[in-house]
Amino acid sequence: MKVAVWDTYVMREDGHPMHFDILVPENMKDKDVIYNYGKAFLKSRPFKTGDLTSRECQFCHIEQATPEIVTQIEKEGYSIVEMENCD
């Protein structure tokens, strides 16, 4: 499965930048749905963050998903790859 990678940077309340990718099927084009996936991820964190808008989350590229990511997308509709300051 090919996935669209949405590069996302959100500022944490402690001033550290949080970086994660939202992975969705390559044919997913509804930005509001993609942003809502990111917002759900942010709500699951044990700290507060800034808002997630088109300024913080942008399409980056298409890539081949790993089997683990495919399974998660089939179950949840998306996958999150935590890059920096996500915990």
pLDDT at 64: 98
Tell me the CATH number at 72: 3.10.510.10
> pTM for the full model?
0.94
CA distance 80 to 69: 9
Counted domains in the chain = 1
High-pLDDT (> 70) share of the chain, %: 100
CA 5 to chain centre: 8
pLDDT at 60: 96
CA distance 15 to 49: 9
pLDDT at 1: 96
pLDDT at 32: 96
- E strand residue ranges, the chain: 2-11, 17-25, 57-64, 79-84
Tens digit of each residue's pLDDT (9 = 90 or more) over 25-55: 999 999 999 999 999 999 999 999 999 999 9
Residue 68 structural domain:
2-84
